[in-house]
Structure 1
Amino acid sequence: MAVDSFSAKARKISANIGAHYVDNARNLPWRSPPGGDLPDPYHVWLSEIMLQQTTVGAVKSYFEKFTARWPTVECLAAANEADVLAAWAGLGYYARARNLHKCAVHVAEKMHGIFPRKESELLGLPGVGAYTAAAIAAIAFGKRAVVVDANIERLVARLFAIDTPLPKGKIEIRAAMDAITPKQGAGDFAQACMDMGATICTSKNPKCDICPVQKQCAAFALGNMESFPVKPPKKDKPVRRARFFWIERQDRILLATRPPKGMLGGMRALPDDGWAAGNDGHAMPPIAGKWQVHDNIVQHSFTHFSLEVDLAVYQDEKIATNKDENIWWPLNDIAEAGLPTLYAKAVKWKLKEEK
């Protein structure tokens, strides 16, 4: 698609979306009001990392918890990674949390606590990809950058009826977003488009009757808004099997720290059988003894596979384990352990089963 082939339409879209945002911007804790002072770069970076593949509703409370506990990037850098991972528990995609801490350390130690302003320099930070770099440059520093998240992708694909299937269609969508992004106020415009995609141009049942760019929307004119963007057919997810192990004594439960690399790396968790995205676990218990196995107590969906979990409960009175990585955690305070959602589900099932 040639960018200059719809310049007049682009100007109209940009103006209408910008005007709509002034009166309808979402009130979010990491944002500044439309046309107001630029927000804290630390807040923008933190929120953008949290929002990757996660909804605004889920992120709000985590953002507020993080900024209350670690109000500056230097404070976050000084935190223990284990504490950051525990505070992140429940948000998923835990590599983001490890990169978050790594990036905070980098900014604090190598950049004197000051985030770079240029998109190209932001790309050099741990855990910061093309979208995040563009979003920080535009929103935190007022630079003109082309910001395309999932909401914007859907909005722009519909506005211009871009029918090239994803992921190839992303190139055309970015070119179209480039064409409608103004030279001034790119941060507000990007957030305006995000809001449009989240509240009006939704994936199902879009609210076209209140859309400020309905008249400019090619998909609306065709009458098939939900056909865009064109997605490839979904692949069936493989199903993996895992076994978790419940070892309890004196109102304390045995936890282990997962290996630093791999899924849920560095997180506290129940001992398990070495399950992975590419293979089932071996189902062998960590210690010999009497075990009662409860089959398939948890089903959990990851991006590329699903996991069915058995829970094996240790029933011997004598417990012989003294591995360095083991942690005896008070059951009454298990919520403070920061277990990943998958393991928290298993704990919840066991505690409920005992009642």
Structure 2
Amino acid sequence: MQVSHTPAAVSAVFDDPNLIAHAGLIPVMRLAERCGLSHLVTQKVKLTGARNGAGASADAKVTSIVAGMAAGADSIDDLNVLRHGAMPTLFGGIRAPSTLGAFLRAFTHGHALQLHAVHRRFLTALAAHTTLLPGSGEKAFIDVDSTHKRVYGRAKQGAEYGRFKGIRTLHPLLATACTPQSRPVIATVRMRRGKAADSRGAPKFVSEALTTAAVAENGLQDRVTLIQGDARKLGDYPEFKDMELMASFLMGHDFWPWENYVELFRQFRTQLPNLKHFLLCDTHRHPDDATADLPLFTMGFETAHALMGQYIPTRPEWESVFEESGWKCVRQHAYSTPANTVIFQLERADGA
């Protein structure tokens, strides 16, 4: 005898209130708490202006998403795994998939950068609590590559037809770090629009990945904080409120013209009241009346910046900025590599 009809569908539901399907999440989420994941999200992720309160309680929502992914969820609906069985007894603050979906859809590229900042800091904290990259002191590998991720919503920011005809994608960059004794660890991620060229943003991205890996490898997570932001608005970052020494290397000329730099240096004095010492290193332009026997680097450096329309100040022009903005140059350290490079050792002219 056999059944004459086949079932239209078969489904299984894990709904016993006394059973736990993913007990392994307990040590995972305890480790996340110990490394300060919730605190980092509260500190860095600000979804201001999101509709219907989608940006509220970002810490609970991010940790719910992380827990769901650790349990195998690969879609918003799958995040309901956190509410199966006795899971709500083990974990508090679990959010429904619909709530988490509204939270994720409120993200813009700027909000994604906030999550990147959380990721970098969490990774260094994780390295302090676990053997994340064993053997990294001898040999480590950094792999950087781009990938295309298909998306379906037409309104999703950055979703475009790119390499794959008729398919909307995002085109993120990913960097992984590993050693001969460890599994790959995602060091950093950078979201990009679907049409972005493979190399777009790669130099800065690689530098960021190497810095993150170096901090974790050398156990400096308690002393080094990586911040991505606007150098012209340091007063907006609480990490700098007690700073006494600041250094800037080979980026000063990017803020020229003269009046912009005078205003910026004045802001440093007012926005950073504890700042006493400032080391500014930059390559200055060769004086116009002494152009004979220029080093090859100087010729290339000045020509390239002239083609870009970027002005390179002379040393006397730098000195006039210091005087006008309330800084005193107590010493100049000249270097020949790169040519015409000086470290200006500055202190507050008012002696504060």
* Fold match (TM-score > 0.5): no
Higher RCO by CA contacts (8 Å cutoff, separation 6 or greater): 1
Larger radius of gyration: 2
Q: Which has the higher helix share?
A: 1
Tell me the TM-score normalized by structure 1: 0.23
